Amino acid sequence: MESVGERALRSPAGLRARLRFATTALAAAVSVPRSLRAEVRAQTAEQLWRCGVRQLPVVALLGLALGLLVVGQAVALLRQVSAQHYMGTVMVTVIMRELGPLLTAFLLAARAGTATVVELGALRMTGRVDRTEKVGVRAMRELVVPRLKALAVSTFCLTIYLIFIALATGYVVAFLQGVPLRPGAYCGQLADALHWLDFTLVGLKAALFGAVVAVVSCYHGLERLLRIEEFSQAATRAVVESLACCLVLDAVFLTGYLVR
Amino acid sequence: MNETETTSRNTERVVGVFVVLALLLLLAGFAYYLYHTAERKGWRVPRCPYHTFVQSADGLEVGDPVRMMGFDIGELTVIEAQPPSSYYHVFIGIEIKRPYYGYIWTDSKIKVTSSGFLGKRQLEITKGETGGPTVFEKNNRISEILIDGNPVALAEAPKGPFLPPDESPSVTERAERLLNQAEAALPNILAVTNRINAVLDNSAALTSNANELVSEVRPAVSNVTTRLDTTLVAADTNLVVLAGNLNDTLLNLAEITSNLNSQVQSNDQMLSSISRLVVDTDNLVQGLKKHWLLRGVFQKMNATNTPPAKADGK
């Protein structure tokens, strides 16, 4: 009970600290001095390589599994009620609007977020980031901004790859299950179920999820000087907080969809 | 250029491909979506306006599809209330895509039918059968439309040709009407129910009486059955005796027949003996005729005897 009470008392301050960190990071991201741009760009490319390109095989695997499971189950259910023509709607609603961005963000939180926490924590522990003070603007620009940009762009790109792979796998699964659906008709169903806002919202959602994962991971890596035994706890906390923030953000987007 | 810079350049190139490919995929998806939506909504095909009037706009919305022969052929574009003095209450404007306006003739009608269970209604146009076309094209463009039987330019009649409505109420309205009818019919139904109740009571009494009757009739039926049983047993016995006698008679008859058969065979032998006797006697007589002592006698008998008379008297 005491720990619950202590956490409840501490949570507003923690929330304020996180928000302050996020706003500082965003401000630093939009105001990078000319002298630092080349370095930030190189760092961003490096992070994009690690958080984006190298995660592509896992995302492809996830997309295959998603298409296989969602369509496999959906087709089996829809065929029972002779409603195969709703397959496109199911795919768009489940994969494009919801699971695509969310699963990509979860994956990056687990793979890139934890790596970021450990990396930044190690940098601070070894003294390459100021050990005594709060994180300075320079460190923010050199360490946080590249990761923020890279994770936002990576999540955006990987979400698109995941959606395309899942949709393609979905068609193959439907074809193998004997659903009389031509590729053109399938694409037509998808297009019928889509709205122009979907393209904007999916991209925006994915980029925001990536930014949230980046900010939360960087915050937990740089928040304070970590001891060796605290690294795993910090990484776990970063993943859980990232997932929670993504879910809250997803609920906000869902409200947007429903209001539309 | 050192190795680190080369690696960095390669990394940037791969990252660039990674990002550009994702963007291209998204743009390709969006382009296909735009293309498909344009195809579906007929953005690139000419449209012809038509109008009609209905009594209620209930269940109709701007943008609803108009159907014909199972196809979405256009959409509802205008729903406006008419002035209070107007016979019809609501003006409905629609736009029909090419080539479907070619199927709409002067005898086509707009049917307003219920769609779904949520009070939704839809417009369905019947294909022309006996009339004439309502739209005329020249150079792949609508040149004239038929208004009151006269062809006029499309710009002069922006509302388009009038199509007579065939309006059916929505499901909710029909359900309400059905409920009202059911309520109105309820007293009659109750009266019928009362009558059925009385009939059922009478049937119950009838069944009770029939039951009593059956219990009364049961002894008499039992006696008759017993007597019938006795009579049948006696008849059975007599029949058995009769059958035995008949059997004896038939056996005697068979014996008589057998005797008669043997008698007939004996008679047959007797007749053959007589025949042989006659032949022998004839041989004897022929022998006697040739004997020297009696030859003369037989010759005299042949001379004195007159030949037998012939039938025609010759």
Domain ranges of chain B: 10-43, 47-169
Distance CA A197, CA B217 (A): 90
Alpha-carbon gap: B16 to the closest alpha carbon of chain A (Å): 9
Q: In the prediction, which pLDDT does B169 show?
A: 61
A123 in contact with chain B, both atoms CB, cutoff 8 A: no
Contact indicator for B131, B105 with CB cutoff of 8 Å: yes
Alpha carbon B183 to its chain's center: 37
The answer to whether B36 contacts A191, with C-beta atoms less than 8 Å apart, is yes
Q: What's the whole-number mean pLDDT along residues A189-198?
A: 86
Contact indicator for A158, A103 with CB cutoff of 8 Å: no
Q: pLDDT tier at A55 (50, 70, 90 boundaries)?
A: very high
Contact indicator for A53, A152 with CB cutoff of 8 Å: no
Distance CA B145, CA B46 (A): 13
Q: pLDDT tier at A91 (50, 70, 90 boundaries)?
A: confident
Residue type, A49: W
The answer to whether A52 contacts B25, with C-beta atoms less than 8 Å apart, is no
Among A121-135, A212-226, B11-25, which is the least confidently predicted range? A121-135
Give how many domains chain A has, as a whole number.
1
A157 in contact with chain B, both atoms CB, cutoff 8 A: yes
Q: In the prediction, which pLDDT does B306 show?
A: 58
Distance CA B51, CA B94 (A): 6
Q: Measure Cα distances from A154 to A95, A194, B184 in Å.
A: 18, 23, 70
Question: Which residue's structure tokens are 């005797």?
Answer: B259
Question: Which residue's structure tokens are 């369509």?
Answer: A71
The answer to whether B36 contacts A187, with C-beta atoms less than 8 Å apart, is yes
Q: Which residue of chain B comes nearest to A186, CA vs CA?
A: B36
Q: Measure Cα distances from B59 to B162, B163, B167 in Å.
A: 21, 20, 12
Percent of chain A with pLDDT over 70: 92
Distance CA A78, CA A96 (A): 19
Cβ contacts below 8 Å, chain A against chain B, sum to 54
Q: In the prediction, which pLDDT does B313 show?
A: 45
Among A77-81, A237-241, B264-268, which is the least confidently predicted range? A77-81
Edge-first strand listing for the sheet containing B150-153: B135-138, B141-147, B150-153
Q: In the prediction, which pLDDT does A21 show?
A: 85
Enter the DSSP assignment of A32: -
Alpha-carbon gap: B74 to the closest alpha carbon of chain A (Å): 16
The answer to whether B18 contacts A52, with C-beta atoms less than 8 Å apart, is yes
Distance CA A14, CA A63 (A): 36
How many other C-beta atoms lie within 10 A of the C-beta of residue B107? Answer: 15
Distance CA A73, CA B17 (A): 34
Q: Is the peptide bond between B99 and the residue preceding it cis, with omega within 30 degrees of 0?
A: yes
Of A156, A188, A196, the CB nearest to B22: A156
**Residues of chain B found within 8 Å of residue A187, distances taken between Cβ atoms:** 32, 36
Render each residue's pLDDT in chain B as its tens digit; 314 residues: 566 667 777 888 888 999 999 999 999 999 999 998 888 777 778 888 999 998 888 888 888 889 999 888 888 999 999 998 888 889 999 999 888 988 999 889 998 887 766 778 889 999 988 888 888 888 778 888 888 888 888 888 888 888 888 876 666 667 788 888 888 888 888 999 999 999 999 999 999 999 999 988 888 888 998 999 999 999 999 999 999 999 999 999 999 999 999 999 888 888 999 999 999 999 998 888 888 888 777 777 665 555 556 555 44
Alpha carbon A38 to its chain's center: 26
Q: Does the pLDDT at position A205 exceed 90?
A: yes
Q: Which residue of chain A comes nearest to B18, CA vs CA?
A: A53
Inter-axis angle of helices A231-259 and A114-125, nearest 10? 140
* Half-sphere exposure in the Cβ direction for A196 (13 Å, CA): 6
Distance CA B172, CA B179 (A): 10
Full residue range of the structural domain in which residue A169 is found: 2-259
Mutation for testing the B interface, residue in A48, A155, A189, A198 having most B CBs under 10 Å? A48
Q: pLDDT tier at A25 (50, 70, 90 boundaries)?
A: confident
Q: Measure Cα distances from B236 to B225, B231, B232, B243, B244 in Å.
A: 16, 8, 6, 10, 13
Of A153, A188, A203, the CB nearest to B26: A203
**Residues of chain B found within 8 Å of residue A164, distances taken between Cβ atoms:** 25, 29
**Residues of chain A found within 8 Å of residue B40, distances taken between Cβ atoms:** 191-192
Measured at the CA of A130, the angle between CA A126 and CA A135, to 5 degrees, comes to 125
Q: pLDDT tier at A105 (50, 70, 90 boundaries)?
A: very high
Q: In the prediction, which pLDDT does B303 show?
A: 59
- What are the tens digits of pLDDT across the range A135-193? 677 778 888 889 999 999 999 999 999 999 998 998 888 888 877 778 888 888 888 88
Nearest to residue A99, comparing CAs of A170, A11, A163, A19?
A163
Q: Measure Cα distances from B72 to B36, B75, B125, B161, B304 in Å.
A: 15, 8, 10, 19, 137
The answer to whether A187 contacts B32, with C-beta atoms less than 8 Å apart, is yes
Q: Is B15 left (phi over 0), alpha (psi -120 to 50) or beta?
A: alpha
A183 token code pair = 């590729």
